[in-house]
Every structure is written in structure tokens, then in C-alpha cells.
Structure 1
Amino acid sequence: MRAFSFSLSSSSPPPPPPPSPPRKNPNSNLIIPNTLRTILLKSTAIALSFSLVASPPFFPSAPAVASENIAASASVDLCGEARREEEETKEPNLTNESLVEEAWEVVNQSFLPDAGTRPWSSELWLKKKEDIRQSRIQTRSRAHDIIRKMLASIGDPYTRFLSPDEFAKMAKYDMTGIGVNLKEIPDTDGSVKLKVLGIILDGPAHSAGVRQGDELLSVNGIDVSGKSAFDVSSLLQGPKETFVTIEVKHNDCSPIESIKVERQITARTPVFYRLDKMESGDSSVGYIRIKEFNALAKKDLVIALKRLQDSGASYFVLDLRDNLGGLVQAGIEIAKLFLEKGETIISTAGRDHQVQNSFVAETSPFVKAPLVVMVNHRTASASEIVASSLHDNCKAVLVGERTFGKGLIQSVFELHDGSGVVVTIGKYITPTHMDINGNGIQPDFDKLPGLNEVRNYLSQCQLQRAG
């Protein structure tokens, strides 16, 4: 079995629910992501995910030894083991029945039971597996139809089947532009390595010789040690059909290899900004719109904030209206720019303990000026994470309409025929312990308040929070 994943928050409109009687709260909250750890399935699934939560190291650390000869022998053993594992992951003959069972296993191991409109029953789900084993599935299209119906029976509009063509389009969520997903992996000496958690088969990096589990050492001559996976993803980005040179090690036994990779996908800036004079004429406001959260969002927002501050902005308006999301990690990194060290950005909950996590700011805020966040009914997913985080920590007032209300986390799993399944594996909880999903976030004002009103509101919020 091979598994390599990338978790996500969608920047496209959330899919409509399957035909069913209307329910009270039909909306739910997404991202692509972040990062679900690789799920070890009994069948042969390939999971793809953009890091949200911790992933285990690809290579187990070798025990400490006293002798150089023993160390060398252990290294050889590790190399031999890696080669054996590579041989074992070669795809077996794939039957239609095993493909359906593979999809069943993904849901069985990772689906969040309270995400659907119907009560989750492990007994009924097991019965579906028994039904699969008792029938002969003649064609691949019939297998796909069975998977669709099986997933629809859960009652979660976000858990769904992807045809091979639809799954291939998931490459648009590549943060790096070269088809890899990076993850920070703790090393035995306490340092952190950057490793290739997932790789798009036949993508630019894979075609150039990069492999899953490779350690990334440098980008265009820049040493990446100590840098976050998110920041290095931004270094890898660039115009389509340009080249980036990276240095990697395939494993602890291999030499450093320099690989030139052609960029396939480029992220466009989602940040637009201007300086506006207030009607009173005694202050200026920095207006910033973020259309989506991609790999350039944080970097370009920092540039915008600095230029507006240098131009005399006394406070900021962050416009997240019609922002349907994007990369959850980008939203988390952006929220950190306004929060104090130790303040909670968002928490996640799910069946798997590795989905249960809290994300907090590690440094002082980049800006401390008063902040207004504009939202509407199309503010969703990663945008709701940013809005709720800044609001609950008394860093911003919210203005506009109630947000969409999508607080569920999906991961995308590739099946062995190139199709895939999107599965809801967790949900987001705001710093004040509110469940976004189906509820959305109610703004504080429906129209833009004045600067003094913003300051007074934030002061009262902070006093109540301290009390």
C-alpha cells in the first residue's frame, strides 16, 4: 500500500448537497489543508493532503550506536529496507470489487460521524462491505456508481466521489507550483527537516526525479533549514514554465542531488490594497482585499500592510467578502500577523487524535492597529477561520452579513485507478468554542463604524475577556 496525501480548503463554491429533504443548517465549512496524517489502510489507497495536522516521519530514526561500523551497517539496513518497501508498494492487479472496498475503507477509518445528516452506524457501514463482497462488479463505471451511492448514503454533501478527470484537477491546489507537498518532520537531534509528504504522480517534480519522502535542503541556493514548509512553498512558487533548482536527499544513505524543475502552476496575488482618507480628513485607512488564500497571500499581505503603514494608515479594513477560502494554512498564517504570542487561532476536532489540534500564534503581531474585517454570506472556510480568530481574540470587529458557515475539514484520497474520494474528517472550533459549521459567524455591525467606535468596541471586548 502506498499513501501520500494533501488536505484542502476549497476556493471554489462548495458543492450542492445531493437531492434530499431540506435541513435546518445545510451549510458546512471546508479547506483543503492543511494536513491529515497518512492513514494506513488495509487496501491500497493514496491519500493526498495539504498540511493541517502533524504527519509521522517517513523514515524511523535509527537507535544511537557506539560503533561507526555498526552505524554504517544500520544505514545499509535502512537503505535495503527502503528498497524493499518501494518494491512492495508496486500496484497489484486491481479488481472492481477491491476498488469499491478501498473507498469503503477510507470512509471507515477517517469519516467524522457527526458530519452527515443521518446517524452514523458502524454496523450498517459494515453491512455495505459485506454486500460488496457478495456481488460481482462487471465494469469500472459500475464500480464508480456503487462508490457514489455508497458515499451519498452517509448524508454528507462534502463526502463525495471524484472521477479520474475530476481528481486530476486537484493539482490546482498545489502550493508549490511543482507538484509537491512539504511537511516539517522532527529529526533525532531536535532539529526539523523538510520532507516531501506527497507528490503528484507525473507532475513536474516527480518527472524531474523528486520522490515521496525526499528531504529538501535548498531552493535556488537558499538553505531552507529552519524555515517553515509554508514559507518554502512560497520560495518554490514562480511564473509558469520557469525553472527552480532544488537540492534533495532521497534518504539518509544517498548523496545530495541537485534537481532542476520546471514550474507548472503559478499563484497570482490575491491581495489588492489602497490608502483612503476618511471624510473627517484627520486619519487614513488602509483598505485590503483578499480574494482567496493561496501560497502568496501571506507574503503579499505583509507587503501591503507595511506600505500602508508607511503611508500613514491609522487602521485597516480587511475585506473578506466573497472569499470562499483556499489554503487553510494560508489563513492560519495570516491570522498570526495580528495576534499576540500564545493566542489561539483555531482548533480542530475529529475521530483521529492527530486531527485534534489547536493552532496558536508563536510571535508578536506584525501590526497592532485597529482592524475591521468585512464579511458576507459568501465568506467561507479559511476566511471564516481568519474572521473568527481575529474577532474572538478582540483584534477586529466584523462588519456585514452572517458568514456562510462551513466548518468541516475534508481530505482527498486517491484510489488506485486514478479516481478519488473526498471525505469529511474533522471540523473547526473557534477560540470561543463555537462550531462554525451550519451556523456561520454573526458580524458586530451591518455598516462600517467610525474609528472611535471601533476602538471602543475592541476595548470593551478586551475588558470582558480579561474579566
Structure 2
Amino acid sequence: MKMNTKYVPIMVCGALALGILIGGKINFSVPATGFTTNATNKGKLNRLIDFIENDYVDNVNTDSIIDITVNDILAQLDPHSVYINSEDLQEVSQSMRGDFVGIGVNFYMYKDTLAVIKTVEGGPSEKAGIKSGDRILMADNDVLFGRKLPNDSLFPKLKGAKDSEVTLTIYRKEENRKFKVRVKRDVVPIKSVDISAMLDKNTGYIKINRFAETTYSEFRRELVKLKGEGATRLVIDLRENGGGYLEEAVRIADELLKDETLIVMTKNKGGKEDKTYATEGGIFETGKLAILINENSASASEILAGAIQDNDRGTIIGRRSFGKGLVQREMPLGDGSAVRLTVARYYTPTGRSIQKSYDHGAAEYFKEFGHRYETGELYAADSIKIADTLKFKTPKGKIVYGGGGIVPDVFVPLEGKHGDESIGLVMQSGIVSYFVFEQLDKDRKQFEGVAFPDFLLKMDKNDTYFTNFKKYLKNNGVTLPLDHNKGLVKRYLTAEFARQLYGEKEYYQIILKEDAMVKKALDAKTL
């Protein structure tokens, strides 16, 4: 599948994807203050660098040599021990902190101009009157159009210190006018809880996209709200959640498990065990509970799912999770860069490790989605490869397995027809967002004042956007059998139109209505 590189995503200003940098499969504890190493070997490396700097026949960037050396060393360990340079570390830390300081827009470079897809609700740009479809031509005296600026040069022009101001020159196509607006930069949250909603009169739903510093507080706030709306059953969606802070997953588990229930155990190199138990006062210790997982649910997601499954607390629905049972600690290297080094293994309450093998190297390790597809595991529960020697029993006698992810209690196959799995991936990618933006950009006024129910009716009866999307993909070098999966494609297109026109709640209202895992969770026999 080929895709035009001009559609590479530029999402919320400053909210960069954690998974791009470190595989999206992490969990880690608090940063360490440093580490020691053998003085002789350390001196050997330092002398070698000095020799190259002082005596090598050509000029060499020794910083790049050091980076290569560090990466080569870590490559001998495990796939999750990684080096992060200073620039990337700032971006990762920002994402995990849960906020950034900026103007608060979701944008991308459309043709040669920075186009606003949507402003962040309640953010500085929305308050200043910037709208979806606006082009940002200049930031103060910096020209942002006609130059095909790379991503890393755009962010510094829009981010800045809290309460600092920037004058933006805006072109509003629908009014055919150019104007200036002054925007005061402010803290913009990067939500780790995408949404909470009532699926029916008794069932609440919470979608968690990662475990950042603010995840527990976001989760608890939404859970309290749902209980106030009548939720006695709860669905927690951890699909595509690659992990994050172990502590945040543990705190959420604490709200769901009774006092003194074991949540997770970690064991370090010296064999020291640390066990974490639930405390009293959890706000959802007795209601019916389901956890949704898939092949990209990893680390902290697996800690939460494992704690629920091993304690017979709820039902795990979906497909086998990623299989990461390693704990990293961030260790600064003194120049703004850091290593995330694996310092322990974690074990679920029954004592199982769910870490999958990495004996064949990192490349094979991260390509396992392809292997699962080839074996048919994504479509049939009986194709899941589990080791019979790694059986464990829950308190109620249920058999659970170690050695490679959390195996769900209720299996749900990948959406779409067998062989067409790429369609689902494309429909959840940035290219759909850009297509919808460009369709809206042709005539936004046709949707002005349209109530949401009328919008749904209009989209259901109209195949224009489905046809246009097929042409759009073809023009960008993507060939997919969309006609075989027309219902799925139209659903995601309608949902993205709803997101850009109305908001996140409307997007999920459309997506969840036909979601196979959600339907299974709502089945009285399941939840």
C-alpha cells in the first residue's frame, strides 16, 4: 500500500505520538537519579571518542557516533530498553505529562498552507475566534505558507511560554477575507481519556488512549460522572493503548478491586519482589465490569486487564493483547537525552508473566501483528498459540495463561472481511481526517445549522463521500477493496465528519453503535 507523503499527520500542536518514538509498547516508573558502570570500560569508551576527535584524519560528528554506540548497546538487551535523544525526550515527556503550552489547534499542512482542522474546545484559539477551515498564514512576522515547512519548525512558532502572545494572520476561505488575531498561549490538555458515555441506562463506557500523569484523575472524574448518571455496569476500552505509567494503571485498578486484593507484582534483577495491593474505598468495587483489549493493548493496559482477569473481577473481551511484561526506568544521560532501561519484570496476581519472547530480535518482535494474521489468530480464537505449560488458576478456578499477552475471556475477531484488514487500519488513520477536511473545505455552509439527527440521515442516504473517498485513495496511490466493506467505510467517514462538525462525543456515538466488542459487552450473558 503506497501513500502520498504530503499527508503525513500533523496533529494537535505539541501533542506528539509517544508510540512513534519507542514502539508504543512501554510502561515505566519514576525517573532514576543516575546509574554507575565499570570505570575501566567507561574510560575505554571515553578514550576512543577522544582519539577520534583529536587524531582521526577527517572531521567527524562524535555526538552521532555516541548515539549510534548507545543504540547498538541497547539493541543487545530487549526491545523496550531504548535511547531517546534530547529533542524527542521533550516531546515524549510532554505527551506523558498530559498537557502543553500553545495555541490549541488540530492542524495539518494542506498543500502549502497550515490549515486548522479543529480548535481545541475551550483553548486559546477557540477563545480568539479561530474556526475550522481557517488558514494560518503568519505567526507574528514568520511566514507559514508557501514554504512547505517541516513539522519540527512549525511547533516552535505556535508554542511558547504561558500567557505569551502571538499575532496570527488568518485567511478564512468561506468569507474570502484575511485578518489578524492576537492569541494568548495557555496550557492545553492532552487528554488520555478520550471519552466517557452511557451506552444504555445502566452501562457506562470509558475510553483510555494511554496512561499519562493525568490518566487516573481523568478516569476517576468520568467514573464519578457516569455513576451519577446511573451506571451500575462499566466498560473500559483499552484498545490501541500502548501503555505508559504503571502507577496510573494501578491506581485505576485500585478503584475497581476490593481492599487487600493483589494488583501486580514486580521482580528485579536481584529477585526482590514488590507487591501492590488495592486499598479500601474504591468507587466501583462491585458493579459489573468489562475490559476491551486488542493486539495493540500493551504494558500498563495489560497490568490493568490482568489484575481484573486474575481476580475474577470482570470479563476481558477482544483479542490477545501485545505481550509486554517489562518495566522501564528513565535514566538521564546528562545532556537532555535519556535511556529507558528495563529494570524489572511484572507479574499478574496469579503469578504469570505475559511477556512474549524477543529471542529473534526487535524487528520480529514488533512485526507480530503479521504473524497473528498469518496464523488466523485475529479471526479465530482457536488459532491463538498458548503454552499449555504456562497455566495458572484464578481464585474461582478459571484457567489463564502466561507467556505472551492477556488472552481474552470472550474473543471478538478483527472487523472486516478476512484479507481486508488494511481497510480498518486506513479508516482509523490520519488520511480519513484529511479527506474529510478537504471535502468540508469545498462547502462548509451546507452543514451550517444542521442538527445532528438530520446530519446522520443525510450521510446515511448519500454515497457521494464514499465515491469521493475511493477516488481520493486512488489519487494517493492506495488501492483497497472498499466496495466489499462499504458499511464499515461509510461508518468511519460519517464519524469523522461528525467529529469535525460536532465533536468527540458524536464521533464515538457513531463508532460505538456498531462496535462488535461493545455489542458483546452489552450482551447480558457477557457483562
**TM-score, normalising length from structure 1?**
0.51
Q: Structure 1, residues 255-301: CA drift from partner, whole Å, max 9, x if none? A: xxxxxxx9867443524122123xxxxx6321221122223322232
Q: What is the match of residue 164 of structure 1?
A: 86
Aligned residue among 378, 403, 407 for 2:325? 407
Q: What is the match of residue 364 of structure 1?
A: 281
- Number of residues of Structure 1 aligned to a counterpart in Structure 2: 268
Distance in 2 between the 1:411 and 1:292 partners? 17
Q: Structure 1, residues 217-248: CA drift from partner, whole Å, max 9, x if none? A: xxxxxxxxxxxxxxxxxxxxxx98269xxxxx
Q: Does 1:241 align with 2:162?
A: yes
3-state SS, counterpart of residue 299 of structure 1: helix
Distance in 1 between the 2:325 and 2:21 partners? 12
Q: Relative to structure 1, is the Cα distance of residues 166 and 443 closer, same or farther in structure 2, using a 3 angstrom cutoff?
A: same
Q: Structure 1, residues 379-407: CA drift from partner, whole Å, max 9, x if none? A: 11111111111111111100000001111
Q: What is the match of residue 154 of structure 2?
A: none
Distance in 1 between the 2:334 and 2:217 partners? 37
Q: Does 1:132 align with 2:45?
A: yes
Q: Does 1:440 align with 2:405?
A: yes
Q: What is the match of residue 48 of structure 1?
A: none
2:96–2:211 CA contact under 8 A, matched in 1: no
3-state SS, counterpart of residue 232 of structure 2: strand
Q: Relative to structure 1, is the Cα distance of residues 137 and 274 closer, same or farther in structure 2, using a 3 angstrom cutoff?
A: same
Distance in 2 between the 1:377 and 1:269 partners? 19
2:329–2:343 CA contact under 8 A, matched in 1: yes
Q: Which amino acid aligns with 1:241?
A: K
2:98–2:191 CA contact under 8 A, matched in 1: no
Q: What is the match of residue 376 of structure 1?
A: 294
Q: Relative to structure 1, is the Cα distance of residues 382 and 11 closer, same or farther in structure 2, using a 3 angstrom cutoff?
A: farther
Q: Relative to structure 1, is the Cα distance of residues 306 and 451 closer, same or farther in structure 2, using a 3 angstrom cutoff?
A: farther
Q: How does 1:272-421 map onto structure 2 within 5 Å?
A: 272-277=195-200, 284-351=202-269, 356-367=273-284, 368-421=286-339
Q: What is the match of residue 13 of structure 2?
A: none
Q: Relative to structure 1, is the Cα distance of residues 328 and 127 closer, same or farther in structure 2, using a 3 angstrom cutoff?
A: same
Q: What is the match of residue 453 of structure 1?
A: 525
Q: What is the match of residue 19 of structure 2?
A: 12
Q: Which amino acid aligns with 1:299?
A: S
For residue 352 of structure 1, report the CA deviation from its aligned partner.
5.4
Q: Which amino acid aligns with 1:409?
A: V
Q: Which amino acid aligns with 1:132?
A: L
3-state SS, counterpart of residue 166 of structure 1: helix
Distance in 2 between the 1:336 and 1:265 partners? 28
Q: Which amino acid aligns with 1:366?
A: I
2:211–2:249 CA contact under 8 A, matched in 1: yes
Q: Relative to structure 1, is the Cα distance of residues 132 and 436 closer, same or farther in structure 2, using a 3 angstrom cutoff?
A: same
Give structure 2 stretches of 5+ with no counterpart. 1-16, 54-61, 102-159, 165-184, 357-403, 413-519
2:35–2:331 CA contact under 8 A, matched in 1: no
Q: Relative to structure 1, is the Cα distance of residues 422 and 365 closer, same or farther in structure 2, using a 3 angstrom cutoff?
A: closer
Which has the higher relative contact order, 1 or 2, with Cα contacts under 8 A spaced 6 or more apart? 1
For residue 427 of structure 1, report the CA deviation from its aligned partner.
1.6
Q: What is the match of residue 27 of structure 2?
A: 31
3-state SS, counterpart of residue 234 of structure 2: strand
Q: Relative to structure 1, is the Cα distance of residues 170 and 14 closer, same or farther in structure 2, using a 3 angstrom cutoff?
A: closer
For residue 440 of structure 1, report the CA deviation from its aligned partner.
0.6
1:29–1:409 CA contact under 8 A, matched in 2: no
Q: Structure 1, residues 301-340: CA drift from partner, whole Å, max 9, x if none? A: 2232233223233311111111112222211111111011
Distance in 2 between the 1:240 and 1:444 partners? 48
For residue 436 of structure 1, report the CA deviation from its aligned partner.
1.7
From the CA coordinates, give the structure whose radius of gyration is larger: 2
Q: Relative to structure 1, is the Cα distance of residues 268 and 441 closer, same or farther in structure 2, using a 3 angstrom cutoff?
A: same
2:32–2:330 CA contact under 8 A, matched in 1: no
Q: Structure 1, residues 146-181: CA drift from partner, whole Å, max 9, x if none? A: 2222332x24222233333233334315648699xx
Q: Which amino acid aligns with 1:145?
A: I
Between stretches 132-141 and 315-324, larger displacement belongs to: 132-141
Distance in 2 between the 1:415 and 1:268 partners? 29
Q: Structure 1, residues 87-112: CA drift from partner, whole Å, max 9, x if none? A: xxxxxxxxxxxxxxxxxx2xx7xxxx
| RMSD, aligned α-carbons | 3.4
Q: Which amino acid aligns with 1:308?
A: L
Q: Relative to structure 1, is the Cα distance of residues 14 and 346 closer, same or farther in structure 2, using a 3 angstrom cutoff?
A: farther
Taking only the aligned residue pairs, the percentage that are identical comes to 25
Distance in 1 between the 2:273 and 2:194 partners? 31
Q: How does 1:85-234 map onto structure 2 within 5 Å?
A: 105=37, 132=45, 135=48, 136-138=51-53, 139-152=62-75, 154-172=76-94, 175=97
For residue 452 of structure 1, report the CA deviation from its aligned partner.
4.5
**TM-score, normalising length from structure 2?**
0.45
1:326–1:382 CA contact under 8 A, matched in 2: yes
1:11–1:326 CA contact under 8 A, matched in 2: no
Q: Relative to structure 1, is the Cα distance of residues 426 and 330 closer, same or farther in structure 2, using a 3 angstrom cutoff?
A: same
Q: Relative to structure 1, is the Cα distance of residues 168 and 443 closer, same or farther in structure 2, using a 3 angstrom cutoff?
A: same
Distance in 2 between the 1:343 and 1:317 partners? 21
Q: Relative to structure 1, is the Cα distance of residues 399 and 242 closer, same or farther in structure 2, using a 3 angstrom cutoff?
A: farther
Distance in 2 between the 1:395 and 1:378 partners? 22
Q: Which amino acid aligns with 1:144?
A: D
Name the one with the larger helix percent. Answer: 2
1:343–1:360 CA contact under 8 A, matched in 2: yes
2:98–2:212 CA contact under 8 A, matched in 1: no
Q: How does 1:419-434 map onto structure 2 within 5 Å?
A: 419-434=337-352
1:412–1:421 CA contact under 8 A, matched in 2: yes
Q: Relative to structure 1, is the Cα distance of residues 141 and 344 closer, same or farther in structure 2, using a 3 angstrom cutoff?
A: same
2:195–2:207 CA contact under 8 A, matched in 1: yes
Q: What is the match of residue 268 of structure 1?
A: 191
Q: Relative to structure 1, is the Cα distance of residues 158 and 40 closer, same or farther in structure 2, using a 3 angstrom cutoff?
A: closer
3-state SS, counterpart of residue 141 of structure 1: helix
Distance in 2 between the 1:263 and 1:411 partners? 30
